[in-house]
Chain A
Amino acid sequence: MNLTTALARLLIFPGLLFAIPAAWFFLWVERKAVALMQGRVGPPFMQPFFDFIKLLGKSTPPRSGVGGLLMRAWPLIAVSAAGSRRPAAGTSLLWRL
């Protein structure tokens, strides 16, 4: 597996570009299925996407004793730590880097 394939797997097919909309879709499927079983209409198709965009626009809570930059970077550090442990795509790419 060369670097291009690894990057494509990490970023496109099983990776970010596919996995994030798929996660939104299955969240919607779950909520809509519950709604249909209860005999109601349920959330619109884009609901998880709207929730995501709305949460991006929420303000950051003030913290005392933690530096502002580290506080903002911490979610990104956590995500990249989790991504480096992905068995198929992540490891081979990160071993090369």
Chain B
Amino acid sequence: MNLWNKLMCYSRRHSPWLFHMNSGSCNGCDIELVASLTPRYDAEQLGVRLEGSPRHADILCITGPVTHNAVNAIHTVYDQVLGPKAVVAIGSCPATTNVFIDSRTLDGPLNKHIPVDVFVPGCPPRPDAIIQGVAKAAEILAARGNNPPATEIVIAETPAEVQP
């Protein structure tokens, strides 16, 4: 690995830009994702920024069980994120469809449609867990580069030492 690749890998790990997408979520996880970017949790230390366009983003944060209406939007937005990219599924809903399992309005879970790199379980997950999930996704993204996503799944756990 030459110097330029090392620098690129380091830069990718230190500047993950997020795009937040709701696929039929109850808004609980969306509020927690926004809370993880507030001054109290200070995700900017890791270089995290919330971007308004998927073209600018590296990491796609998806909340919610996947409803039928959201499937096309998920594919469109996933294709609009430029590579190298990673996907973080926030909350229990995109992982398992949670309490909405067997609902006729759903077409989930999320990894049926797009490859998911990190699952952050919780209903909703704590902001600490979301930040940890994003940091793990940034590491995966930097290690992977422009190669296709692997099938191995990472589950981010809530840090044990966190006090509410």
Tell me the A residues contacting B by CB distance below 8 Å: 31, 35, 38-44, 46-47, 49-51, 53-54, 56-61
Contacts and interface: CB of A to CB of B under 8 A. Distances in A.
23 contacts: A31-B44, A35-B44, A40-B40, A40-B44, A40-B45, A42-B44, A43-B44, A43-B45, A47-B14, A49-B11, A50-B11, A50-B47, A51-B11, A53-B7, A54-B15, A57-B11, A57-B12, A58-B82, A58-B84, A59-B82, A59-B146, A61-B55, A61-B80
A50 B10 contact: yes
A82 B108 CA distance: 49
What are the 3 closest A-B residue pairs judged by CB atoms, nearest first? A53-B11, A40-B42, A38-B39
B101 interface: no
Interface of B: 7-8, 10-12, 14-15, 39-40, 42, 44-45, 47, 55, 58, 80, 82-84, 146
B83 A51 contact: no
Contacts, number: 60
Contacts of B44: 31, 35, 40, 42-43
A57 B40 CA distance: 31
A38 B12 CA distance: 26
Given A58-B82, A59-B83, A61-B82, A41 B8 contact: no
